Amino acid sequence: MMLLPSPRSLGFAALLIVPTAGFANTWVITDSAHPVEVTEVVRVIHLAHLEVALSRGLPANPARAQALFQANMITEAATGIS
């Protein structure tokens, strides 16, 4: 005799699996002038921190910094880094 799960237990198992598959990540990008209160699990990106990270290691000369930044972005896009 083979025991099969009941339709009710299969439905319950499906409910446990489905919610995790349907959720997407939420990102909030903000600056110090527009603080946010996060009530859910979201990723908060502060523009000031992003600017510091993106400009790290760039030369003081604006034209050289722009050229190096653009080259870095092209390299990252070509290698699939995002």
Higher per-residue confidence, 28 vs 82: 28
Query: Which domain range does residue 64 map to?
Result: 7-79
Closest CA to 51 of 35, 34, 36, 65: 65
pLDDT confidence bin for 7, thresholds 50/70/90: low
The structural domain count of the chain equals: 1
**pLDDT of 14-42, one tens digit each?**
555 555 555 678 889 999 898 888 877 88
Asked whether residue 54 is domain-assigned, the answer is yes
The vertex-71 CA angle with 26 and 75, nearest 5°, equals 60
**pLDDT of 32-71, one tens digit each?**
898 888 877 888 999 999 888 888 899 999 999 999 999 9
* Environment class of 61 (CB within 10 Å of its CB; exposed 0-12, middle 13-18, buried 19+): exposed
Closest CA to 32 of 43, 48, 45, 51: 48
Asked whether residue 1 is domain-assigned, the answer is no
Asked whether residue 55 is domain-assigned, the answer is yes
User: Full-prediction pTM beyond 0.75?
Assistant: no
Asked whether residue 2 is domain-assigned, the answer is no
User: Residue 46 forms beta bridges with which residues?
Assistant: 30
**pLDDT of 9-20, one tens digit each?**
556 555 555 555
